[in-house]
Amino acid sequence: MRQLQDIDTPALVLDLKIFYENLEIMSESRPGLSLRPHVKAFKSSVIAGILKKYGHESFCCATIREIEGLVEAGHKEDILLANETLDASRLGSLVANGARITVAVDSEATIIAAAEGGVKEVLIDINVGLPRCGCDISDAEMLSSFAKKHGLKIRGVMGYEGHLMFIQNKEERSRKVNEAMEILHDAHLIVGGDVISAGGTGTFDINTLATEIQAGSYLFMDTRYAKIELPFKESLSVASKVISVEKAKRWAVSNAGVKSLGMDYGKPSVQDGVVGICSDEHTTLFPTEGDDSVRWETGDVVLLKPSHVDPTIAKHPRMLCVEDGYVVEEWPIDLRDW
Amino acid sequence: MRQLQDIDTPALVLDLKIFYENLEIMSESRPGLSLRPHVKAFKSSVIAGILKKYGHESFCCATIREIEGLVEAGHKEDILLANETLDASRLGSLVANGARITVAVDSEATIIAAAEGGVKEVLIDINVGLPRCGCDISDAEMLSSFAKKHGLKIRGVMGYEGHLMFIQNKEERSRKVNEAMEILHDAHLIVGGDVISAGGTGTFDINTLATEIQAGSYLFMDTRYAKIELPFKESLSVASKVISVEKAKRWAVSNAGVKSLGMDYGKPSVQDGVVGICSDEHTTLFPTEGDDSVRWETGDVVLLKPSHVDPTIAKHPRMLCVEDGYVVEEWPIDLRDW
């Protein structure tokens, strides 16, 4: 069996023990269908299969490819495209073959696309404060009627409070989430249906309105999520190897860069050092403040902690699962691209 | 034939006319082997094949996978791994099968790795000021002897002046590049060999020492490179579709986000608007300053101009080549991952 020292780098490395701890904490708090795991975080049908064994049979996705891949792998009980689309024909084919697929809609155009594409069920996506998708609540009734006229079943409402996900103080986060969810509550009274789909890792236990929480990052966490009060721990790193050390040891260079690390929330972090420059396939590591020189030698494996786990995972073809220092499994990231 | 309106989004879209103009400007300035196209920029064996037709038969790569893919596609005349590695065994297999592969080395450890892995030829990588790889010039002689003792042929030196690539003023850029190249010149006197490999898109015409320039971004350009005086034009965009427009038209949302755009140099740019928030699969677009509302409608195709082209391309499985508004070719990005 391979140890970290033996793997090709860069590579995604998952601490399997922490992964399952995170999974179980969430499953206890949000059992079965009260969690709709967000596939965009992990993009792996293998992980979807594991979540299903823990009772989570419904999934949500951000892309059509994620849905196609889930269905190919046999996970077709109840998948939500938690996103708008103007071409639902690929989804309609899956529905025609027995998959249950629901699509978020927030306009007449997206309703027409769903109906013409062959999708049968929708959620009315309501804007709850994040400047992104979702209709204004004043349009909920009109869109609801419009969808029904087009033969679509309305399962309920969706609203994503993404702008509140990273408020550090839990009390403040909780208060603001409640305010946002009042909008969704009112929309649900208008639209009806069984489903109120909302939330994420940062609000999984404070969003009390949602009948289902859309969370995925909790399985891995990242340095941004680590800053807020949550019971989950970081399980994922990008393993890199030190390929060069400056003569006076003023810096070391590891072979993971921006092509293996999501950079939209900033640079990765590292123990016992400071991350300097990240280029395509390199990260320059400087000593911790106060130290004159870096502690690494050429050949050392360095674990970089990503700032944003979702786009980091999307850059890799596989995830190496490590237990007691050994690679015990290799999970494909098979739901990438579009 | 498909027009932009018909393609699945997000997708990489290449303006084929501008691409060939960029290619020809460079080929005129740096014909044949005086350019060693950097495969890390385009990660496509099809584009390597096109460059070969223009006389550029030698390539440089940042990853072993890029090299393997080039060799699989038959481009095995002269490939440089312009990067250090501690495991050259995959490269040794290619050498044993007739590929000519040279590796950059900057330490005893990387020399041993090259020799043990079955690589026969190396360049001594010299640090010319960028805090990344490359040995101190004072070690050039020692490493050169060490490599020879291990049976390696030394083809020459390499040095990357990446820290000078984006100096806006050409005169200043030129002066600093000359200073950096004095180090490489001195190292070459010590090490010998035919090759002085250096440079990039930003220094292709001012690095007069290099026998070969390592450039790739010039084929596409990006908003960062566009800021400096260069004869190349932006040929690449990420095509996205407007999936939602806020009721008062205060913003529009397009379906390309950080999973389809390199973010390490910042957000993408857009014509007739301001890029707001980029999330996984969304970009929120606000009106241009002075405008009250966005000009887009749901369904519109929006071209986002990436800030950094290399990691943007690495996020996509293919590139759609557009001519006179039609998709005329589709090139696979087949050299991704590691």
- Per domain, the residue ranges of chain B are 4-11+233-332, 16-219
Beta bridge partners of B140: none
Local structure of A30: helix, strand or coil: coil
Question: How is residue A129 written in tokens?
Answer: 């404060």
Phi, psi of B32 (to 5 degrees): 50, -130
Length of chain A: 338
Judging contacts by C-beta atoms under 8 Å, the chain A residues touching residue B11 are: 338
At A251 the pLDDT is 98
- For residue A18, what is the DSSP state? H
- Tens of each residue's pLDDT in chain A, 338 residues: 999 999 999 999 999 999 999 999 999 999 999 999 999 999 999 999 999 999 999 999 999 999 999 999 999 999 999 999 999 999 999 999 999 999 999 999 999 999 999 999 999 999 999 999 999 999 999 999 999 999 999 999 999 999 999 999 999 999 999 999 999 999 999 999 999 999 999 999 999 999 999 999 999 999 999 999 899 999 999 999 999 999 999 999 999 999 999 999 999 999 999 999 999 999 999 999 999 999 999 999 999 999 999 999 999 999 999 999 999 999 999 999 99
Q: With cut-offs at 50, 70 and 90, classify the pLDDT of residue B282.
A: very high
Q: Give me the CATH topology for the region B4-11+233-332.
A: Lyase, Ornithine Decarboxylase; Chain A, domain 1 (2.40.37)
Position B90 scores a pLDDT of: 98
CATH placement of domain A17-219:
3.20.20.10
Q: Count of CB contacts below 8 A, A vs B?
A: 150
Q: What band does B303 get if pLDDT is binned at 50, 70 and 90? A: very high
In chain A, DSSP assigns E strands to 11-15, 58-61, 78-81, 101-105, 121-125, 153-159, 195-198, 212-213, 236-245, 252-254, 274-279, 282-286, 301-304, 318-323, 326-332
Residue B131 and residue A245: Cβ atoms within 8 Å? no
For residue A219, give how far its alpha carbon lies from the nearest alpha carbon of chain B (Å): 17
Q: Contacts of residue B264 in chain A, CB cutoff 8 Å?
A: 258, 263, 278
Q: Name the CA dihedral angle for A267, A272, A273, A274, rounded to a multiple of 10 degrees.
A: 40
What is the phi/psi pair of residue A218, to 5°? -55, -25
pLDDT at A75: 97
Smallest CA–CA distance, residue B222 to chain A, in Å, is 15
Alpha-carbon gap, residue A10 to A109, rounded angstroms = 43
Phi and psi torsions of B29, nearest 5°: -75, -35
Parallel, antiparallel, or unpaired: how do β-strands A195-198 and B236-245 relate? unpaired
What's the mean per-residue pLDDT of chain B? Answer: 97
Report chain A residues whose CB lies below 8 A from the CB of B278. Answer: 264
* Cβ within 8 Å, pair B280-A62: yes
Q: What type of residue sits at position A216?
A: G
Alpha-carbon distance of B41 to B236, in angstroms, equals 12
Distance from CA of A98 to the nearest CA of B (A): 24
Tell me the backbone φ, ψ of residue B103, rounded to 5 degrees: -125, 140
Residue A102 β-bridge partners: A80, A121
Q: How far apart are the first and last CA of chain B?
A: 34
This model of the complex carries an ipTM of: 0.96
Question: Quick one: fold of B16-219?
Answer: TIM Barrel (3.20.20)
Nearest to B139 among A40, A247, A250 (CB): A247
Query: How far is the C-alpha of A262 from the C-alpha of A244, rounded, in Å?
Result: 23
Q: Say whether B132 and A255 touch across the interface (CB within 8 A).
A: no
Which structure tokens are listed for A152? 């679509």
The continuous run of DSSP H or E covering B304 comes out as strand B301-304
Q: Of B95, B65, B238, B83, nearest to B162 (Cα)?
A: B83
CB contact under 8 A, A251 and B86: no
